[in-house]
A and B are shown apart, each in its own frame.
Chain A
Amino acid sequence: QVQLVQSGAEVKKPGASVKVSCKASGYTFTSYDINWVRQATGQGLEWMGWMNPNSGNTGYAQKFQGRVTMTRNTSISTAYMELSSLRSEDTAVYYCARVGSRGSGYFGYWGQGTLVTVSS
């Protein structure tokens, strides 16, 4: 069965960077895009960007351009999302999500989420 397992909670200081991992299993990692979505406490879902694990091509929401980098290591079926220049407003749960079918943009499978807390 498809599983996405994310790394554990992080606490960072303002100005620092955080890198969250998302290990995929149960399918061919390079066949389906991975997206990242975040959710501040009590707030809605916010799409951050996508990555094609086969080519490494990425696309980011304008809001995060210049601060976010999505990468992958195909040998261990793991995707990464790094967010830099952290500020308190970046405190949120970060989810990786796999598209439901090739070439689609709906998210059929989600990781369990990683809480990132930005605090001095």
Chain B
Amino acid sequence: EIVLTQSPGTLSLSPGERATLSCRASQSVSSSYLAWYQQKPGQAPRLLIYGASSRATGIPDRFSGSGSGTDFTLTISRLEPEDFAVYYCQQYGSSPVFTFGPGTKVDIK
């Protein structure tokens, strides 16, 4: 089973700042089958990025994903107030076994 590690655990930033979130896999994720989700309190997760770098429908272009192999990054270019949330990465390359990372909380500094 592929284990995902996310860092940092918490990222304290101000609106307008750039956020860089990391997701590292215990083994290579085939075909860059890596997704990112945003979750706010009391809500279901929302898909942001799939295929490591493709934005889901309706996702603002301040969100971008990059990486391959075992190292992936989610970047939020300029934080908006609504971006403060928890972010999870998920690998789906070892189908049909899927795993999530433990999450990174982005909170207001």
Contacts and interface: CB of A to CB of B under 8 A. Distances in A.
B96 A50 contact: yes
B96 A105 contact: yes
A59 B94 CA distance: 13
Contact size range, B: 20 to 34
Q: Which has the most chain A C-beta neighbours within 10 Å: B44, B46, B96?
A: B44
Interface residues of A, number: 21
Main secondary structure of the interface of B (DSSP, over half): loop
B100 A95 contact: no
Interface in A75-117: 95, 100, 104-108, 110-113
Given A100-B47, A100-B50, A106 B90 contact: yes
B100 A44 contact: yes
Interface of B: 1, 33, 35, 37, 39, 44-47, 50-51, 56, 88, 90, 92-93, 95-103
Interface of A: 35, 37, 44-47, 50, 59, 61-62, 95, 100, 104-108, 110-113
5 contacts: A37-B45, A44-B88, A44-B101, A106-B33, A110-B45
